[in-house]
Structure 1
Amino acid sequence: MSMETKLLLVLTATNLSVHLKLPTQRHRATHGMPNASVRPKHGRRNRRRRREDPARNELVCSSLESAQQCLFNQDYGTAFVHYLLVLNLAPEFKDFARESFRFTLFKWAEELDSVGRIQDLFNCYEQALELFPADEVILNSMGEHLFRMGFRDEAAGHFHKALKLRPDYPEARENFYRVANWLVERWHFLMLNDHGRNQKYQQAIQKAVHSGCNTVLDIGTGTGILGMCAKKAGAAEVYACELSKTMYELACEVVAANGMDGGIKILHMKSLEMEVPKDIPQRVSLVVTETVDAGLFGEGIIESLIHAWHHLLLPPQTGENDLRDPAATGRVIPAGATVFGMAVECLEIRRHHRFCVSEVGNLSMAAAGGLRSPVSCSSEPDESMEPYTTERLSRLPGGYKPLTEPFTALNIDFNNVKELEGLSSREVQQVRLPVTQEGELDALAVWFQLHLDEESSLSTGPHEDTCWEQAIYPVHCVKGFVLKPQDELVVEVSCHDAYLRLCSVAVVRDGCEIRLDKRVDEQRSKNPVSSPNPEAELCSALACLQTDQNQTKGFCMLECAEMALLNNKDYHQSFCSALAKLISQLKVKCQNQEHGAGIESDPSDLATDCSHLHYVLDVSEGFSLLSLIAASQGHVKAYSSVEKTKQQEVLKRLAKSNRIPEENLEFWLNRMEDEQGMLQRPSREKLWSAIILDCVETCGLIRQKLMEKASLARCLLEEGGRIFPERIVVYGMLVESDTLLLESAVQGQEPTLGFNIAPFINQFTVPVHVFLDFSTLECRHLSEDVELFVLDLMNANANYVNREVKVQATSAGRVTAIPFWYHIFLDQEISVSSLSQNSHWKQAAVVLQQPLEVRAGDWVRLAVKLHKSTISILANVESVPGTMDC
């Protein structure tokens, strides 16, 4: 493989997971090879000194020499074996050989990884950690490999150990911060900070235990708080299970710290795998759980409760006249739930799930076909689609409009096993909802009331201050349909696969029912209309709603953020203008050079003369139209890194319908096996006229290894070529936000329900919060926005790693966080902002470990640092000594 191809692969290398991107570290020895002739120093002689073994010494020396020679020959596997032998035979060489051993391990691990020898790779790391159990660099590197293989819990454990050994180790710290969001999700902090919710659960458990339920199982224990509530209430035996290794270990620490490790048995397993008497000695009289998501059933509560009733719980009470001792019967907390829903209009939901525009970057999108997000609900399960997504309706930019009154979608009794077993086979329920406000139908929003017992309940409604979001069932349409008062919306409710499914299936207007899930020509055959009337108006509107049947069958799926990006006309128009300007400049430059050389050329030949083609490479993550926009400029051959076949087909159709020659658009990752064909370019000093980099993750962070990619991209540009964007300016602001504090750590000095939990779960606090909507974040602005940092992708000499910024407080308050966002300059004049209303990007915020008290007029000094594309900020008030880390 040529050097150019390697550089291009680095540029387009796909980072680790959507919502987590971990850097791959490359470690090199910083010290020379150990000198075999150097004797280790000894302190005072022991009374019994080990007898010298000449054969051992000779083997150690020869193995050291062999290891060095193998390293010079890049035979890392053999070198690794020699080092293992030396360090096992002569542990006194560990300090001398540590750096060389690390280097050998990491190079050998790279080779094993490249050929798929994963088990051998981890065996090598385990052997290395037997020799160096407290080596933070080896622990961190093994964590990275574990994460890439999908073992998030184990990876986090290694990052955490590395940090405990060396708290200032930046690579381990950044890795741990990025993985912590997945292991201990932010709702854990919100939940523990929700005093009302905690007290209601505690009261319900206390009442059940006092009524005779003295054996308890906590399913999905998390931090162990519900199990500890049961033990504190006087339960004789308490068991708990937790699937996540991280949360299991955390629960064990919490329970032990509260003096209950002898009274609560915690199992690291699914409740579905538990058996009596193998795992618990006998059936329990009470199950407590909170394994519910925004859609109620998404965490598998139905399956786990059915199993519990059959295998782990005592039989339920049979009725009010059941006189058995409560200790001889079983029950569940929560006792049941009521699910509510309503139809809503919401632009923010619409643009993330439905294709809404007809033109993007001067390209007609008529030939795009069926495009939709991966969230789509039907009464029949589809494994390729998620039935719902989640949003906090109260925080959606632009808000939402209820189009119907809330309706009851479902009631479920968790203490009735027959009802639980019959849920999936329930007949589809059809609900008719009177429309109360005119608006475009975008989604059905769903929430629930969780009945802990007959007296106490919790609501997850959109107006409640709760740790739960609402479930969103988006409506997929090519063009929105406006509901009007006096219409009725027909909704079907089903639970075929123990997921709650709500589908908008029909609209009734003036007695005419039109199915939303059928083709328009079928509707017209069933509902013939001969004259203009409300039915004709409805049919006409729905004709715009439906898509072509062939397109529907072959729809192309885009991620929600990709759909929002596709709907962002301003973003694409900015790129269109910047690319057009660059190509125009390069054309003029090319013509001037030809005239200067005395070369005559027919302008009509420019399109076919390869020497006049300009090459553009788009290495955006996921689906991108930018290569097509570049190809539409004329005299441009554009290369796209889109990999999915259906998405490539969409680009090809759009190219054809917009009269872009087929040969002007390439998918270069498809040509990797045909390297010679891919790399046949004109002979010139550099290859590319423009390289488009995807610089910001949807969550609001700079993409990992961005500056390294920019450095490589600059090496591949022709003279006058450009990286898009050329510069990123980071802006921020001082704010006071209790919301961010509640989402970042357990707050306050008082124990949670009297239990010591905060010091343990707060180990998973991360300083940077992501996926924020700054426009709806509950906060007070304490300053004007200020430029924090500049990343110059075209000029490496203009970059720096540290910057100090002074910000003046405009109001008195507590600085709790510094939200930040980006102005992304495509060139000197054209820019896009990640803070704009129609941006597909969210924002991020640094949350201070200790809030700073400021008065109006105070100056706050911010020390901003960029390390491997990660931004960190230290803050302190100039009038107050000491620096607060954040």
Structure 2
Amino acid sequence: MPNSNAKFHCNHRGGQEAGRRELVSRSLQSAQHCLEDQDFGTAYAHYLLVLNLAPELKSSVKETFQFTLFKWAEELDSLARIQDLFNCYEQALELYPNDEVICNSMGEHLFRMGFRDEAAGYFHKAVKLNPDFADAKENFYRVANWLVERWHFIMLNDTKRNLTYLKAIENAVRSGCKSVLDIGTGTGILSMFAKKAGASFVYACELSKTMYELACDVVAANNMEREIKLLHLKSLDIEIPKHIPERVSLVVTETVDAGLFGEGIVESLIHAWEHLLLQPKPKIQDVSTGDYGRVIPASATIFGMAVECKEIRRHHRVGTQEVAGVCLSNSVQFFSPTYASAGSEETVEPYTTEKLSRIPGGYVPLTEPCQVMTVDFNNLQELKSLAARKPWKLSLPVTEGGILDAIVVWFVLQLDDEHTLSTSPSEETCWEQAVYPVQGLLDYSVKTGDTVMMEVCCQDCYLKIQKVSCLTSECGMDFSDRDDTLSLGNEVELCNALAGLQTTSKQDGNGQVCVLESTEIALLNNVPYHECFKAAMGKVLLSLNPTKDLQSMDVDGHGSGMNLQESQNKSSLDMAPDPLYILDVSEGFSILPIIAGKLGPVRAYSSIEKEQHQAALNVISEANHFPKETLEFWLSHLEDESVVLQRPKSDKLWSIIILDVIETSGLIQQEVMEKAAISRCLLHSGGKIFPQYVLVYGMLVESESLLLESAVQGTEPTLGFNIAPFINQFKVPVRVYLDLSTLPCLPLSKPAELLRLDLMNPLSNSSSREVKVQICKSGQVTAIPFWYHIHLDEDRSLNTSDASSHWKQAAVVLDEPIQVQVGDELVLDVQHHKSNISITVKR
């Protein structure tokens, strides 16, 4: 009977619905109990069940579900259950595919684990879902610098470079090259040049997932997706006919860095000649057939010269034996990583890069430019012989007396018989130059008539210049250090650069070698920094323990009374006062704890983790005759940074806590205000956090350079191809590592105070502020450079834009320039969120 069946089905459905509601209710209750018991894994499982059974509850339980997910993910992370962690996030995103908070959190986990491409995708999605989500924006900006390096913008804006490549490719295609492979395509611009020139078949490969996807978008936007085959592969992995049907007649590439070979061009071209290119042109052949292989660029010539440059010197050589009263013992030798790489078995970049035309203080050529070597990219045997070639000697006659600080290298790319590109420091070019700092000499002075000697080789895909020495004109005496010192790099173990600091040590007759990052060496050379800290620390310690001995301390850096260490020793004999506790949680290598040890009976704690850093500090401590207990290394084995800010003993509090507030890049350190809030609770009465407060200063400028370095400026520089909208998705509003003293810009206003960050009273800080700025020169506002005055107390401060500063500066670059006249007044809306400063301009 139909009616009876209908009634049965209705009752059955009703029973199912009641059962579902009951199960949902019980699961919600169980989830709540689990949360109270901090059993996040079980709570998460209950919420998954609830949301799958009752999707209508998604909005009402969303916040609690997010909290549970994040807590459970933290547990899984700590247990190294990585696959389970990602499974949880994937389940969560199936339920909430458009939740920007979950996307951002997933990205954070991915980024911490080294999956930058994937992390960027989630951060990018979170920003698209909510453009005002500050955490996601900051995360995306930081990861964007990893994924799309800033030189992409500068290079794409270099019209001369683009036009020269286009003409060379057109020549090759006209002469018969109909099939083209673009190795390391980046945005795909060279592939599009080849297609525009008339190539029948164009293939392009790109290893970076982000750049590959960007190239796909660019090629499609220019209506060439059917004519250019993009491969998400390293060129070494391309196979015929699996990826491309047959050998090609032309390879185009720009996989060259400032040192020419650093991006692996030699290895990739050897493979291309052996597996992907047609045979090279014979000596006798009808050129019109074009059925032979060739490479653009065809060849390169490398040039070098010796220079004097104070800026390079202060980043690679410690220029003082005493810092704020602390003797840097002769038993420790400081070098930068480029020196250590000279004979290292590890593949470490043996040079730094600089735009010499904009280096602070300039440079002085000590020799004429000299040809270092040439390489023919169309000669397979020559390419193969490069790595096997024995080191060869090179000598440069000194034409100008001075201090030998570096060997500077650049090159000329011969794209074809007609077209060249030079990376010389005297050229207007998007390129920087390779800099090989000179280290390890007993005497760096040279004079006219002397000869700078060096050894050159190609190793580990790098051009290496090593064993630099000077031969004098009078007696031919070699002023280089002993050979065993020059080859110390063989014994230096370098840590992974991304892990932070690279230090090592070696005990021998020459003492201990300590390899520091260039910014750490610049910090050791920053005398005002250490003197300022010495005076500020002395003032606090004097106020906390005004004994007779402490009162005789030289807190202002002027010698008077007995030696401070003698004072400390006398104090320990006379009354043995309780020591005052000082904690230094500076990033990197810091001698501030040793400076503190000179200021009376203190117990200084350093948060340095690297064993070799600790060893070097111990040697310096011993050289200054400190008792062993003066310096301790605090919780260096713990991974949780927040634990570093705990107290040394349950009954003791810190007298001074030193925090690193500003990154050397010019940004505010991440989570520094959170650290300040914790630190404030751990201070002895009368104790201080250093710095006590920070003032952010900025000014309005017109700078075409900042625009060109921050975003591709329309289609004109890319010769009509539509690339800008796609790569500009990865532009960041703040440019870092700037030097305002040499930045090409026109100041349009006076410096203005933008923000105050109070570390002693972090709760009093405002996250936003409006600042009125008056225009003093007409022009276009394109950027707002900013820097910091770091106040250790009311009397002592450090300016991060000073010439002696180891810090660089940063700038907010506006999306659209603003035309202004003298007397105009603009309002800057300054926002501070975590470590991110954003500035918007209103009239």
Residue 355 (structure 2) aligns with: 392
Task: Please give the per-residue CA displacement for 1:792-851, whole angstroms capped at 9, x wherever unaligned.
Answer: 111235421111111111111111111111111111101111011011000000111111
Task: Please give the per-residue CA displacement for 1:541-583, whole angstroms capped at 9, x wherever unaligned.
Answer: xxxxxx9992657411111101100111111011111111111
Alignment partner for residue 513 of structure 2, among 555, 573, 583? 555
The verdict on how the C-alpha distance between 1:679 and 1:577 changes in structure 2, with shifts beyond 3 A counting, is closer
2:741 partner amino acid:
S
The verdict on how the C-alpha distance between 1:409 and 1:854 changes in structure 2, with shifts beyond 3 A counting, is same
Superposed displacement of residue 129, structure 1: 1.3
Moved more, 794-803 or 603-612: 603-612
The verdict on how the C-alpha distance between 1:382 and 1:569 changes in structure 2, with shifts beyond 3 A counting, is farther
Moved more, 484-493 or 742-751: 742-751
Residue 33 (structure 1) aligns with: none
Alignment partner for residue 136 of structure 2, among 168, 172, 181? 172
The verdict on how the C-alpha distance between 1:377 and 1:648 changes in structure 2, with shifts beyond 3 A counting, is closer
Residue 568 (structure 1) aligns with: 526
Superposed displacement of residue 607, structure 1: 6.2
Structure 1 gap segments, 5+ residues each: 1-48, 524-546, 593-601, 878-886
Residue 501 (structure 2) aligns with: none
Residue 651 (structure 2) aligns with: 683
| SS of equivalent to 1:550 | coil
Alignment partner for residue 773 of structure 1, among 719, 724, 739? 739
Tell whether the 8 Å contact from 1:376 to 1:386 is kept in structure 2 after alignment: no
Moved more, 646-655 or 797-806: 797-806
Tell whether the 8 Å contact from 1:355 to 1:478 is kept in structure 2 after alignment: no
Q: Does 1:823 align with 2:789?
A: yes
The verdict on how the C-alpha distance between 1:548 and 1:275 changes in structure 2, with shifts beyond 3 A counting, is closer
Residue 703 (structure 1) aligns with: 669
Residue 25 (structure 2) aligns with: 61
Q: Does 1:369 align with 2:332?
A: yes
Superposed displacement of residue 764, structure 1: 1.0
Residue 289 (structure 1) aligns with: 253
Residue 646 (structure 1) aligns with: 612
The verdict on how the C-alpha distance between 1:681 and 1:607 changes in structure 2, with shifts beyond 3 A counting, is farther
Residue 497 (structure 2) aligns with: none
Tell whether the 8 Å contact from 1:276 to 1:282 is kept in structure 2 after alignment: yes
Q: How does 1:251-330 map to 2 (within 5 A)?
A: 251-319=215-283, 321-323=284-286, 326-330=289-293
Q: How does 1:103-114 map to 2 (within 5 A)?
A: 103-114=67-78
| SS of equivalent to 1:789 | strand
Residue 705 (structure 2) aligns with: 739
Q: State the percentage of identical aligned residues.
A: 59
Residue 727 (structure 2) aligns with: 761
Superposed displacement of residue 783, structure 1: 1.3
Q: How does 1:17-56 map to 2 (within 5 A)?
A: 52-56=16-20
The verdict on how the C-alpha distance between 1:589 and 1:847 changes in structure 2, with shifts beyond 3 A counting, is farther
Alignment partner for residue 79 of structure 1, among 40, 43, 47? 43
Tell whether the 8 Å contact from 2:697 to 2:755 is kept in structure 1 after alignment: yes
Residue 167 (structure 2) aligns with: 203
Tell whether the 8 Å contact from 2:571 to 2:577 is kept in structure 1 after alignment: no
**Take 1:705 and 1:679, find their aligned partners in 2: how far apart are those partners?**
19
| SS of equivalent to 2:813 | strand
Q: How does 1:340-419 map to 2 (within 5 A)?
A: 340-367=303-330, 369-376=332-339, 380-383=343-346, 385-419=348-382
| SS of equivalent to 2:303 | strand
| SS of equivalent to 2:387 | coil
Q: Does 1:139 align with 2:103?
A: yes
| SS of equivalent to 1:305 | helix
2:598 partner amino acid:
S
The verdict on how the C-alpha distance between 1:52 and 1:589 changes in structure 2, with shifts beyond 3 A counting, is farther
Tell whether the 8 Å contact from 1:377 to 1:503 is kept in structure 2 after alignment: no
**Take 1:484 and 1:138, find their aligned partners in 2: how far apart are those partners?**
64
Superposed displacement of residue 164, structure 1: 1.2
Residue 121 (structure 1) aligns with: 85
Give the TM-score of the pair, scaled to structure 1: 0.86
Tell whether the 8 Å contact from 2:269 to 2:377 is kept in structure 1 after alignment: yes
Residue 88 (structure 1) aligns with: 52
Superposed displacement of residue 429, structure 1: 2.1
Tell whether the 8 Å contact from 1:356 to 1:479 is kept in structure 2 after alignment: no
**Take 1:462 and 1:510, find their aligned partners in 2: how far apart are those partners?**
29
**Take 1:428 and 1:671, find their aligned partners in 2: how far apart are those partners?**
42
Moved more, 214-223 or 609-618: 609-618
Tell whether the 8 Å contact from 2:608 to 2:636 is kept in structure 1 after alignment: no
**Take 2:272 and 2:574, find their aligned partners in 1: how far apart are those partners?**
72
Moved more, 737-746 or 375-384: 375-384
**Take 1:786 and 1:589, find their aligned partners in 2: how far apart are those partners?**
42
The verdict on how the C-alpha distance between 1:68 and 1:609 changes in structure 2, with shifts beyond 3 A counting, is farther
Tell whether the 8 Å contact from 2:207 to 2:234 is kept in structure 1 after alignment: yes
**Take 1:82 and 1:512, find their aligned partners in 2: how far apart are those partners?**
85
Alignment partner for residue 230 of structure 1, among 171, 174, 194? 194
Residue 564 (structure 2) aligns with: none
Alignment partner for residue 458 of structure 2, among 495, 504, 513? 495
Please, what is the CA RMSD of the aligned residues?
2.5
1:129 partner amino acid:
L
Give the TM-score of the pair, scaled to structure 2: 0.90
Superposed displacement of residue 343, structure 1: 0.3
| SS of equivalent to 2:459 | coil
| SS of equivalent to 1:505 | strand
Alignment partner for residue 154 of structure 1, among 108, 115, 118? 118
Tell whether the 8 Å contact from 1:726 to 1:825 is kept in structure 2 after alignment: yes
**Take 2:574 and 2:804, find their aligned partners in 1: how far apart are those partners?**
39
Task: Please give the per-residue CA displacement for 1:607-636, whole angstroms capped at 9, x wherever unaligned.
Answer: 686762110000001110111111111111
| SS of equivalent to 2:339 | coil
The verdict on how the C-alpha distance between 1:851 and 1:670 changes in structure 2, with shifts beyond 3 A counting, is closer
Tell whether the 8 Å contact from 2:44 to 2:65 is kept in structure 1 after alignment: yes
The verdict on how the C-alpha distance between 1:50 and 1:622 changes in structure 2, with shifts beyond 3 A counting, is farther
| SS of equivalent to 1:356 | coil
**Take 1:416 and 1:721, find their aligned partners in 2: how far apart are those partners?**
69
Q: How does 1:770-849 map to 2 (within 5 A)?
A: 770-849=736-815
Residue 555 (structure 2) aligns with: none
Tell whether the 8 Å contact from 2:256 to 2:263 is kept in structure 1 after alignment: yes
Superposed displacement of residue 378, structure 1: 6.7
2:267 partner amino acid:
E
| SS of equivalent to 1:856 | coil
Residue 205 (structure 2) aligns with: 241
Alignment length (residue pairs): 792
Alignment partner for residue 434 of structure 2, among 459, 471, 487? 471
The verdict on how the C-alpha distance between 1:609 and 1:553 changes in structure 2, with shifts beyond 3 A counting, is closer
Q: Does 1:612 align with 2:570?
A: no
**Take 1:520 and 1:415, find their aligned partners in 2: how far apart are those partners?**
38
Moved more, 61-70 or 707-716: 61-70
**Take 2:221 and 2:806, find their aligned partners in 1: how far apart are those partners?**
44
| SS of equivalent to 2:338 | coil
Tell whether the 8 Å contact from 1:449 to 1:459 is kept in structure 2 after alignment: yes
**Take 2:209 and 2:150, find their aligned partners in 1: how far apart are those partners?**
17
Q: How does 1:432-581 map to 2 (within 5 A)?
A: 432-477=395-440, 480-510=443-473, 512-515=475-478, 518-519=481-482, 550=508, 554-581=512-539
Superposed displacement of residue 50, structure 1: 11
Alignment partner for residue 301 of structure 2, among 320, 323, 338? 338
Superposed displacement of residue 58, structure 1: 3.5
**Take 1:610 and 1:341, find their aligned partners in 2: how far apart are those partners?**
61
The verdict on how the C-alpha distance between 1:516 and 1:309 changes in structure 2, with shifts beyond 3 A counting, is farther
The verdict on how the C-alpha distance between 1:452 and 1:608 changes in structure 2, with shifts beyond 3 A counting, is farther
The verdict on how the C-alpha distance between 1:326 and 1:342 changes in structure 2, with shifts beyond 3 A counting, is farther
Alignment partner for residue 592 of structure 2, among 623, 626, 634? 626
Task: Please give the per-residue CA displacement for 1:860-883, whole angstroms capped at 9, x wherever unaligned.
Answer: 211111111311111123xxxxxx
Superposed displacement of residue 761, structure 1: 0.8
